[in-house]
Structures are given as C-alpha cells and as structure tokens.
C-alpha cells in the first residue's frame, strides 16, 4: 500500500511564491516557530540542511507506527505494505527528476553515491562486462576531470581513484567572479578523459554551471558525466533527461527530507554494467559456496537492510516540493537571493563571492567581513537568532583560489521571507562596528 503524503499548503500554479504565501508555508514547518537565544529563529542555513515539513515528519512516524517491517523479504501484510511504500517513494523521487524508478539507487547520502561510481571505475573488471563496462576502465594515461569549485565530496573520491589507478586528476578553473573558465575546457577535457564530474550549483558561489556545454564537451570525447545536484535539486526544476547526464547525485536532507538518505541516478545500461559497491543479502539472485549472481539495478546496489523510513520520508518531501511547484520555488529564491546579494554588497567591508549581477545563481550568498573572522560573524548572528554557515563549506581549494580561509554563508529556501532577509542584513551591518573592525 503506497503512502500518500499529507496535504501541503497549495499555492497558485502560475505565480512565484509571494512573501505572504511564504509566511503560510512556514506553518508546515514546526521548527520555524522556535526561539534561539530569546529571539525568533531566522533560519538561513538550508544550504547545509533544510527543515522538515509536517508531511515528512508524519510519513516517517507513520511507517514505524503502522507498517514497520523489512522490505523485499516477507509475505506478511506489514512486509508487503512496507515494500510498497518504499518503492512508491523511489518512484516519487525518480519522477521528481524525470527518471525511471529502476534508474534511482538509494544511498546513505550523496557522498556515498559519488563513491559508488568512483568505486565502479576502479573495479570495472568485476562488472558484467560488455561495451558499457569498458567505459569504466581507468588506468595510466587516462584523466579524470572535476572543477575548482567542487565540494570535497565530489573531489576526494576522484583524488583516490586517480591514486589507485594511475590516472591523472585535472580540473577546470574558475575566474575571479566565480564562473567556470570554459575557454580552458577544450584543453582539459580530451580523448583521454574518462569522466567529467562537476557541480550543478556551487554551495559557496551560488554559480549555476552550464551543464549543456560541459556534457557536450564530454560526449565529444566519449567521457562519462556525473552531476552533483545537491544544491540544485532542492531549489530549481531538474530533469535528468533534458540535462543528458550519465549520473546525478542528490541529498535528502537538503530537499526537506530526513538525514541518512540520498540517491544516485544513473542510466540503466550504465548501472547494470557496474560492479556492486556493497555485497551481502538482498542484492543477489543465486548464491553458492563459490560465487554469487547479482540482481539488476537498482537492487544490486542496495545490500542489507535499507533506510526504509528515511526513503519513505524523502518520497514525502519530493511530493511536497512537487505540489508547491519547483518553478515557483526557484523564482522566490531568486528574489530572496538577489535581495541578499544586493544588500550585502551595499555594506562597507563586505566582499560577496559569486557571479556578477545578471549571471544565474541560486539563492545563497557567501561573504567575507573585513577584519572579522567568519566564526565570530556566525556567533554574533546567532546571538540574534540567525542561523548561518561559517567555515570553508567543505570547499577548501575554492576558498584558497579566492584568497580566503573561511566565509559566512546565508542560504534561503521556500520558507524564508523578505523580512528575515532584511533582519539578517541589518544584523550583518552591525558586525564590524561591534568588533571594532577597520
């Protein structure tokens, strides 16, 4: 029996979310009524983790209260209902990015999803063989391409793959405005390139990368593509068929879902050419004392007891976002993001990172406050009830490229309001005077 997510605050399909509607949406999120240090919570850290609507919280609770059982391994009613709910969630999340359910693999997070692909590329000899399997073979003379703006999760697995196989790791640089230097791409992506792994939207810069251009360059040399969509899937419409990528990873807790759940999208023919990442129960067809045969994807990548309640809750999150409307969410966050960037840029001593005005970006802003460390900025804001991210945001090479060690980042979502952004800007304006910075 499939779980249908509880109703959400439905909004007109044509228009962007308005400030009044965002205020109504907030009623779906219990935590947004909290106080921090005696002040109303102003949550501007959704780029790190988003908050959960009641429909998501209730979906997970309902599983444990009404159908708690293992999936794909029982004939009793609870097991059947649990399996149906689990697979309905897979279909919901797959549909959310215009993929088929058999193209979506549950993982513990996006980091595991990237490592799954990197593992396949260092262990292709144990795959199923065939022409597709050859595309995963990596060795000396081959190159792996990433960008200079990657989150560590989409950098370190490829560093390790290069170290294990003797391949060379190369990167596409960014310019001073935080945009990829595409004019350098032809010299980086070559016939020796096996995979191009890049972020859709930077978690530091907010830059939305030109996916079509990078996919085209990879296709021309026969390279695979992997898109880190952790910062795009929650905030703008994403269609894997239109993007034409081979792999895409997403993170549940950044898109209103619970922690401990993510997903890997992969083309079916590629997933079925890859060796399993983890082995054990639930991913086999036949086992003897000498060998085992594996199920087709996605089940061959889901060994052992899975994150059942988290998957079901993530399905509810995808339904919530779909019913609200991703185009409307994108438009609202674009407005909030522009308000953030313009307001911060007007404050003396503030350096805002990211693309110049007029270039596409998601609704976040990372910034440096002259004379004040990012952690001090974060603590100052926290005293006023404002939650932001401070540090290098798991992107040390990018910060180093920009001449920084740490920044403060404010990131918006569908439940934020213009009043919250204005309150935040007023607070930031008081940082340097408070610390006596010059």
pLDDT tens, position by position, 351-371: 999 997 778 999 999 999 999
163 within some domain: yes
pLDDT above 70: percentage of residues in the chain: 95
Q: Residue 222 has what pLDDT?
A: 97
Q: Residue 43 has what pLDDT?
A: 99
- How far CA 351 is from CA of 242, 325, 368, 371, in Å, comes to 35, 33, 5, 11
Task: Report which DSSP code applies to 195.
Answer: E
Q: Residue 125 has what pLDDT?
A: 55
- Helices 308-324 and 326-345 cross at an angle (nearest 10°) of 80
- How far CA 430 is from CA of 349, 410, 423, in Å, comes to 11, 16, 11
Asked if 284 and 406 sit in the same domain, the reply is no
Domain residues for the domain of 25 are 19-43+326-435
Structure token digits, residue 181: 């230097």
Which phi-psi region, left, alpha or beta, contains residue 244 (left: φ > 0; alpha: ψ -120 to 50)? left
Domain boundary among the residues 323, 356, 377 is at 323
420 within some domain: yes
Contact yes or no for 294/320 (Cβ under 8 A) = no
Cis peptide before 263 (omega within 30 of 0): no
Task: Report which DSSP code applies to 138.
Answer: -
The whole-model pTM stands at 0.95
Asked if 38 and 179 sit in the same domain, the reply is no
Task: Tell me which residue of 331, 422, 418, 424 sits closest to 20, measured CA to CA.
Answer: 418
Q: Residue 412 has what pLDDT?
A: 99
Asked if 271 and 237 sit in the same domain, the reply is yes
Q: What is the pLDDT of residues 148-165, one digit of tens each?
A: 999 999 999 999 999 999
Reported as a pLDDT band with limits 50, 70 and 90, residue 376 is: very high
203 within some domain: yes
1 within some domain: no
Q: Is the pLDDT of residue 6 over 50?
A: no
Asked if 253 and 393 sit in the same domain, the reply is no
Asked if 34 and 117 sit in the same domain, the reply is no
Asked if 158 and 275 sit in the same domain, the reply is yes
5 within some domain: no
Q: Of the given ranges (11-15, 82-86, 211-215, 408-412), which has the lowest mean pLDDT?
A: 11-15
DSSP lists the bridge partners of residue 201 as 208
Q: Residue 250 has what pLDDT?
A: 99
Better-predicted residue by pLDDT, 437 or 292: 292
Q: Are strands 193-199 and 143-147 parallel, antiparallel or unpaired?
A: parallel
407 within some domain: yes
Annotated active-site residue 394? The verdict is yes
Task: Tell me which residue of 259, 239, 237 sits closest to 314, measured CA to CA.
Answer: 259
Asked if 278 and 345 sit in the same domain, the reply is no
295 within some domain: yes
Question: Between vectors from CA 58 to CA 53 and to CA 62, what angle results, nearest 5°?
Answer: 160
Reported as a pLDDT band with limits 50, 70 and 90, residue 344 is: very high
Asked if 74 and 86 sit in the same domain, the reply is yes
Coil vs helix vs strand at 40: strand
Task: Report which DSSP code applies to 82.
Answer: H
- Helices 308-324 and 77-96 cross at an angle (nearest 10°) of 40
- How far CA 118 is from CA of 112, 195, 389, in Å, comes to 10, 10, 29
Ranges of beta strands (E only) in 370-416 are 386-387, 389-391, 407-411
Q: Annotated catalytic residue: which of 41, 182, 284, 394? A: 394
Q: What is the pLDDT of residues 172-193, one digit of tens each?
A: 999 998 899 999 999 999 999 9
Asked if 287 and 375 sit in the same domain, the reply is no
14 within some domain: no
Task: Tell me which residue of 254, 242, 274 sits closest to 119, measured CA to CA.
Answer: 274
Reported as a pLDDT band with limits 50, 70 and 90, residue 129 is: low
Q: Which CATH number does the domain housing residue 264 bear?
A: 3.40.640.10
Q: Is the pLDDT of residue 4 over 90?
A: no
Q: Residue 14 has what pLDDT?
A: 53
Q: Residue 336 has what pLDDT?
A: 98
Task: Report which DSSP code applies to 295.
Answer: P
Q: Which CATH number does the domain housing residue 365 bear?
A: 3.90.1150.10
The total of structural domains in the chain comes to: 2
């Amino acid at each position: 029996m499939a779980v249908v997510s509880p109703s959400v605050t439905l909004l007109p399909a044509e228009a962007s979310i308005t400030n009044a509607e965002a205020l109504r949406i907030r009623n779906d999120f219990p935590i947004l009524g909290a106080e921090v240090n005696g002040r109303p919570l102003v949550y501007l850290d959704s780029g790190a983790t988003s908050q959960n609507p009641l429909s998501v919280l209730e979906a997970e609770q309902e599983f444990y209260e009404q159908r708690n059982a293992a999936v794909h391994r029982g004939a009793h009613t609870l097991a059947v209902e649990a399996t149906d709910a689990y697979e309905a969630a897979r279909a919901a999340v797959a549909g959310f990015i215009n993929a088929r359910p058999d193209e979506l693999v549950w993982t513990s997070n996006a980091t595991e999803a990237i490592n799954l692909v990197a593992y396949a590329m260092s262990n292709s000899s144990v795959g199923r063989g065939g022409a597709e399997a050859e595309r995963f073979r990596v060795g000396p003379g081959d190159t792996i391409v990433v960008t200079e703006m990657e989150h560590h999760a989409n950098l370190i697995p490829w560093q390790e793959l290069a170290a294990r196989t003797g391949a060379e790791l190369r990167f596409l640089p960014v310019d001073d405005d935080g945009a990829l230097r595409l004019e350098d791409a032809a010299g980086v992506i070559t016939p020796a390139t096996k995979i191009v792994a890049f972020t859709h939207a930077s978690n530091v810069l907010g830059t939305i990368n030109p996916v079509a251009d990078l996919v085209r360059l990879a296709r021309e040399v026969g390279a695979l593509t992997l898109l880190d969509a952790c910062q795009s899937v929650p905030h703008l419409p994403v269609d894997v068929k239109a993007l034409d990528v081979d792999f895409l990873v997403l993170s549940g807790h950044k898109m209103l879902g619970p922690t401990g759940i993510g997903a890997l999208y992969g083309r079916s023919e590629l997933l079925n050419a890859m060796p399993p990442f983890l082995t054990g129960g639930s991913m086999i067809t036949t086992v003897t004392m000498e060998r085992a045969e594996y199920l087709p994807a996605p089940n061959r990548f889901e060994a052992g007891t899975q994150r059942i309640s988290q998957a079901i809750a993530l399905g509810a999150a995808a339904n919530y976002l779909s019913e609200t409307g991703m185009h409307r969410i994108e438009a609202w966050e674009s407005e909030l993001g522009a308000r953030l960037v313009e307001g911060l840029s007007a404050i003396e001593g503030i350096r805002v990172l990211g693309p110049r005005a007029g270039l596409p970006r998601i609704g976040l802003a990372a910034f440096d406050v002259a004379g004040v460390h990012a952690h001090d900025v974060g603590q100052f804001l926290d005293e006023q009830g404002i939650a932001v991210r401070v540090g290098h945001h798991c992107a040390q090479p990018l910060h180093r490229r920009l001449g920084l060690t740490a920044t403060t980042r404010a990131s918006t979502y569908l439940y934020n309001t213009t009043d919250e952004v204005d309150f935040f800007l007023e607070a930031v304006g008081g940082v340097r005077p408070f610390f006596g910075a010059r």
